[in-house]
Each structure stands twice: as structure tokens, then as C-alpha cells.
Structure 1
Amino acid sequence: MIRVFSGLLMGLAAQAVAQEGPSFDCGKAGSTAEELICADAGLAALDRRVAGRYAAALEAAGGDADELRAYQRGWIKGRDECWKAEDPAECVRAEYLRREAELVARWMLDAPFNTAVWACGGNPANEVVTMFFDTELPSLRFERGDSVDTGVQVMAASGARYEGSFGRSLRMKGDRATYREADPEGASLECELVEER
């Protein structure tokens, strides 16, 4: 009876440790970033949360899962460059928050709390749709034509500003916005809010 009870306690203790650690085996930590995550309960919890988001994104990706896996490998390589940062732990935390925001917005893992439709360049047919997500690092999904991108909120002097990939951005103030396309020219369009849902 004592052996059974002791074995049960050891099993519960091992399960509790697994729930507190990161999503990967700390015995095989291969980078400074992974070592930091293993040493910090907050970073370990963030790693588990993003691992869960990634698993959900893989399920949602269907035929695009290989592309998502490749992007995830690239993201891990970028995260592992945090050893060069002035504050490596804060860099790792920021990388995880950005990755969670990207996964949620790109794969619609949560419902958006707001959707705004913008008519840009004085042409109602030239629309940008933005969906806003309540991730820890506020995020949005840009849709313009067949193009889909994600962005995260960044500091702005006034209004709100979101930055996406390759220079894409949206700066909003009231019912007006400046949308910058992701292209070498960096063309900006003045936009007006035409619908919110």
C-alpha cells in the first residue's frame, strides 16, 4: 500500500514538473535561449503557451503545414540569436510574444474582437480589411486583395500603429488611417474607415 501511494506521489510530482517546464527537454537545451527558458518559470510558461498555439496552427494550416513548419524553424533560429541582445531574457520574451501574435492572427486561432474595413487612396474598391486580436502583444491581420499578413502593435506618438512584414504598417487615428504596403517602394495610402464589425 505504501509503495503504491509513494509511486502515485512520485508520478504526480513528475507531472507537476513537466507542467512547469518548457515544451522541450531541458536536458537537450542547445542554445542560450533554451537555457534561459529552462531557468525561468515565466519563460517556460510562455514557451508552453506558444507551443500550444503552434500545434493549433498546424491543425488549421492543413495543406500549408510544411510552409508553417519551415517558418517555425526560421523563427527558432531568430529566437536563438537573442544571445546577442543587451537583455537576452527580455529578447526571448519579446520573440515569443510576437510569435504568438503572428500565429493567432495568421491562422485565426481566436476570434477577432474587432474588424475594420478601410477604403484607401480615395477608391472604395481599394480596401484593406484589418482584424484585431486580443493577444498579450496586441495583433492584427491585414487582408488586401489576395494578400494576408499579420502585424503587432508598436509605440506611437498618437493613435495606434501596427507593423507587419517587410515594411507593411497601419497607423490609425480615429476613422482615418495611413496604410503602407509591403513593397520596396514603401507606397503609403490614406484610408478612411467605412465599416466596423
Structure 2
Amino acid sequence: MKITQANFVISAVKPEQYPEDALPEIALAGRSNVGKSSLINRMIMRKNLARTSSQPGKTQQLNYYRVNDMVYFVDFPGYGYAKVSKKQREQFGQMIETYLRTREPLKLQLLVIDSRHEPTGDDVLMYGWLKHYGIPTCIVCTKADKIPRSKWDKHVKAIKQKLEADPADPVVLFSSETGMGRDQLWDVIMNAISHERESQETSL
């Protein structure tokens, strides 16, 4: 995927703040510091458009990034960060649930998991939530450069088993450092967008 244009658009908290141009949206969920911002930057080939931070819990809204006037990446607040208050966690949960239940332009959810570790309880809950709402999901296993190549398959298998992953959901091993998995993930995203278009044309 050649990126000709990418920019940050808005930080939204409630539906009336979401963009209204009906471009397809690809949302990213994952625990704090799992590498969502770094993934976005690698996907759009920009170093610091999505601001990365060593401080977990920094993203507190739905951050919209518009790419090639074709698609939005929507970055969710990270979950599972202990220093975020209980009230904030509840607010994040309500904000994300509202988005997932009501957002028609959402075409694909990326569930971002650190490939070095088994999914957390929060990861399992989020995956179950996505399946409950019938949202197309891709599991992205980040930081693949941090584990030996000989152990990639083992780690991916462990992640799929812990999530009880649907065999139909694509799994992409990804590294923001090396770019591994970028082309594969763009293929998954474009397939999700084109599949939606085909479904709409068939129903007309």
C-alpha cells in the first residue's frame, strides 16, 4: 500500500463527534503499551503521526487518523492499565461499547496482542465482546522482532488457544520495527473494505 496522505483528524468521545463522511473505519483495541500507535505509524509510513508514549494510559479518546482519503484508523484507549481510575475505566468501556454497537462505518476491528505473552483476561473479554457483536476481527500479534523466529508459530498458537479464536479470523504477526506483517495487514484491511462494498452492491 502506497501512502500518499495521512493525517490526524479528531479525538472523539461521543457519537456526535465522529466524522460524518462515511469512510470505512478500522479500529484498534489492545492493552496499554501493546504498540497500537507504533502499528499505525508503520502502516502509514509516518514516524510520529500517532503519538507513542512510554506512559501507559495516555490515549483517552477515540483518535481518528485519515489515510489516503480512503479509510480511517480509529485508535481506542488502551485497557488494563492499573493507574487509570475505576471511573475512567468505566467511561472508557462505555465509550468503546457505544462505538462498537452503533458505528456503521466500522468494517474491521484489529485486536492487538503482544506476541511475547499470552493474552490477558482483558484481551479475552474484548475478543468475546467483538464476537458477541458480530464485528469482523483480525488478531495482530505485535513485537514479533522481540522473539526468535523459531518460536513464532508456538507463540501464535498459544495466543489463538487462549482467545479460543475463530479459525476464520485472520492472524497477522507484526513488527513495527522491521515492517514485518505490514503488507499482509493491508491486504486484510482492503479485503474487509472491498467485501463490504460487494455486499452493499449485491443488496441493491
Category of TM-score, reference length = shorter chain: under 0.3
Judging by fraction of residues, say which structure has more helix.
1
Q: Which has the larger radius of gyration?
A: 1
TM score, norm. by length of structure 1: 0.23
TM score, norm. by length of structure 2: 0.23
